[in-house]
Amino acid sequence: MKQTTNTDLNVRTNAVAEFAVEETGWRFDNSYARLPEPFYVRIAPVPVNAPRLVILNQALAKSLGLNFNILSGEDAAQLFAGNVLPQTAEPIAQAYAGHQFGSFTMLGDGRAILMGEHLTPSGGRLDVQFKGSGQTPFSRRGDGRAALGPMLREYIISEAMHALGIPSTRSLAVVTTGETVLRETPLPGAILTRVAASHIRVGTFEYAARLKDGMYVKTLSDYAIQRHYPELFETTNPYLALLQRVIDQQASLVARWLLVGFIHGVMNTDNMAISGETIDYGPCAFMDEYDPYTVFSSIDYQGRYGYHNQSRAAQWNLARFAETLLPLLDPVQEKALALAEEAVHAFSDIFQQYWLAGMRKKLGLLTEEAEDTELIEALLMCMHKHRADYTNTFRALTAEPLPGDDLFQDSAFAAWHTQWQARLARQSESKTSAYSVMRVHNPAILPRNHRVEAALTAASEHNDYKEMQRLLEVVTDPYADTPEYRKYRTPPSAAERVQQTFCGT
């Protein structure tokens, strides 16, 4: 058993020292910790005195080949607080940089510790990271801790995204620390355990590019290709192929966000994972009423990452990624720049193709016609005019008759509906088949902001997790349209409407 210690911390109690974490099935092989040390700092989580397990993702644990049923609640809390780690864990804080709202900053894991890379029974390699685990050399003036509400928020929304089929980091557990963190008010502290394909970000490449030795970008690139896209080594230019693959992955990801009305909130380069997973669920939110200019993030003063800007923000970030790879793309600078520009400029068309393909499925369009984009845009214009609920509108179109909402009584919508029905009739597939496709691409239930906030308030202020558990049950079954789930489909009243979401740091 390896006990995590910092030199100025007390030795753990015998009860914790006897904690049998090895029997749970951890299989760590920590390849990132074998990179040159400028990429990380070896450091253990800062222990907490009174951890308590509040939620554990048993389904995820099972898929990872882990069995936490053999642990008591107290022992599980010690594990997920980082007080005790498996023998093969090699805790590190990763170094990276990032453009935050357009401004470059040297960053790093200021409140996170990577426990290691777990090898799953299916042969996967996944990072296991603590978030809120105490100060690191990258904390700057931060306390390195996290409040309970934002950690539960990430748990709920990341699991909902996974259920929607959108690539995402996932949440394994949340523990309370028994300590208070000071933000605008004193809040209960917590630690989230996050699972990810990796935590290699565009910002990691930006960090490598700022190091004096130019070989660091090549070292990181080779590692990233080997870990995520090893088949690219067989191409004539693996580094160009890496750039093109990451561009494709991000175009697909952002299109999927928009298709369900998701708004990330902090699309900084340090929050863009080269694996193509959604990472960092700070001030994110799902849109209720359709408005392409919707912004929720309390720190996004200019709407840089608003709904209508998400694809442009992604392309801007990818241009920063391309800049870090220039020395590897071609030894001739002009040729390297031309290759990078061509790849980044292709993003818009790739994104549009993914978005259009997704919208066709949402409307049951099983073939392709040149006028499909106009048909889709006409519906969105009607929805915007009436501030129609984004999720409920698309779900309502999957069945007949339509409800009596204002949108569906509008003459412009009636004209659109006639055109759409004619479009469906031109397909060889039946309308029943089209509606079936629509029902599996239009969720009935999302983690609506007011429901999330209500669950977090109950948990944080009243130590009541019943609403959170119920919300998790519902949002991880997003295509079910059952009577008992009906209240979770209902848009917020004026009093319930959430206007802003917050970062939590």
Give the pLDDT of residue 263.
Answer: 97
Confidence of residue 150 (pLDDT cuts 50, 70, 90): very high
Distance, in Å, from the CA atom of 77 to the CA atom of 16, rounded to the nearest integer, reads 10
pTM greater than the 0.85 cutoff: yes
Average pLDDT over residues 112-120: 97
Neighbours of 199 (CB within 10 A): 22
pLDDT at 458 over 60: yes
Burial of residue 141, with CB atoms counted within 10 A of its CB: 0-12 exposed, 13-18 middle, 19 or more buried: exposed
Tell me: do 191 and 258 sit in the same domain.
no
Confidence of residue 15 (pLDDT cuts 50, 70, 90): very low
Confidence of residue 212 (pLDDT cuts 50, 70, 90): confident
Residue 19 lies in a domain: yes
Strands 262-263 and 285-286: antiparallel
Confidence of residue 22 (pLDDT cuts 50, 70, 90): low
| DSSP per-residue codes, 242-272 | HHHHHHHHHHHHHHHHHHTTEE-S---GGG-
Read off the DSSP letter of residue 295: -
Residue 234 tokens read as: 């067989």
Tens digits of per-residue pLDDT, 123-148?
999 999 999 999 999 999 899 999 99
Tell me: do 317 and 373 sit in the same domain.
yes
Residue 91 lies in a domain: yes
Distance, in Å, from the CA atom of 170 to the CA atom of 159, rounded to the nearest integer, reads 6
Tell me: do 390 and 307 sit in the same domain.
yes
Confidence of residue 503 (pLDDT cuts 50, 70, 90): confident
pLDDT at 19 over 80: no
Tell me: do 76 and 33 sit in the same domain.
yes
Give the pLDDT of residue 372.
Answer: 98
Residue 480 lies in a domain: no
Tell me: do 260 and 193 sit in the same domain.
no
Give the pLDDT of residue 400.
Answer: 87
Tens digits of per-residue pLDDT, 298-311?
888 888 999 999 99
Give the pLDDT of residue 319.
Answer: 98
Tens digits of per-residue pLDDT, 301-342?
888 999 999 999 999 999 999 999 999 999 999 999 999 999
Cis peptide bond upstream of 401, omega within 30? yes
Residue 475 lies in a domain: no
Average pLDDT over residues 217-235: 98
Tell me: do 190 and 56 sit in the same domain.
yes
Domain termination site, one of 199, 222, 251: 199
Domain ranges, residue 320: 232-444+489-505
pLDDT at 176 over 50: yes
Tell me: do 189 and 278 sit in the same domain.
no
Active site residue 143: no
pLDDT at 7 over 60: no
Tell me: do 260 and 167 sit in the same domain.
no
Tell me: do 29 and 116 sit in the same domain.
yes
Residue 224 lies in a domain: no
pLDDT at 406 over 70: yes
Tell me: do 175 and 252 sit in the same domain.
no
Domain termination site, one of 156, 178, 199: 199
Residue 38 tokens read as: 């400028």
Give the pLDDT of residue 162.
Answer: 98
Residue 378 lies in a domain: yes
Burial of residue 65, with CB atoms counted within 10 A of its CB: 0-12 exposed, 13-18 middle, 19 or more buried: middle
pLDDT at 168 over 60: yes
Give the pLDDT of residue 82.
Answer: 95
On whether the CB atoms of residues 178 and 51 are closer than 8 A, the answer is yes
What are the residues whose beta carbons fall under 8 Å from the beta carbon of 480, sequence distance 6 or more?
Answer: 444, 445, 474
pLDDT at 9 over 90: no
pLDDT at 2 over 60: no
Distance, in Å, from the CA atom of 217 to the CA atom of 219, rounded to the nearest integer, reads 5
Give the pLDDT of residue 505.
Answer: 65
Residue 210 lies in a domain: no
Confidence of residue 122 (pLDDT cuts 50, 70, 90): very high
On whether the CB atoms of residues 161 and 279 are closer than 8 A, the answer is no
Confidence of residue 80 (pLDDT cuts 50, 70, 90): very high
What are the residues whose beta carbons fall under 8 Å from the beta carbon of 412, sequence distance 6 or more?
Answer: 378, 381, 382, 385
Tell me: do 502 and 353 sit in the same domain.
yes
pLDDT at 221 over 70: yes
Tell me: do 426 and 304 sit in the same domain.
yes
Confidence of residue 500 (pLDDT cuts 50, 70, 90): confident
Confidence of residue 23 (pLDDT cuts 50, 70, 90): confident
Q: What is the mean pLDDT of the chain?
A: 93
In the chain, the number of structural domains is 2
Q: What percent of the chain has pLDDT over 70?
A: 95
What are the residues whose beta carbons fall under 8 Å from the beta carbon of 54, sequence distance 6 or more?
Answer: 148, 152, 174, 175, 176, 190, 459, 465
Distance, in Å, from the CA atom of 321 to the CA atom of 427, rounded to the nearest integer, reads 42
What are the residues whose beta carbons fall under 8 Å from the beta carbon of 321, sequence distance 6 or more?
Answer: 202, 205, 206, 243, 246, 269, 272, 274
Residue 409 lies in a domain: yes
Average pLDDT over residues 251-273: 97
112: amino acid identity, one letter: A
Confidence of residue 485 (pLDDT cuts 50, 70, 90): very high
Confidence of residue 499 (pLDDT cuts 50, 70, 90): confident
Give the pLDDT of residue 213.
Answer: 82
Catalytic residue, from 270, 288, 300, 389: name it.
270
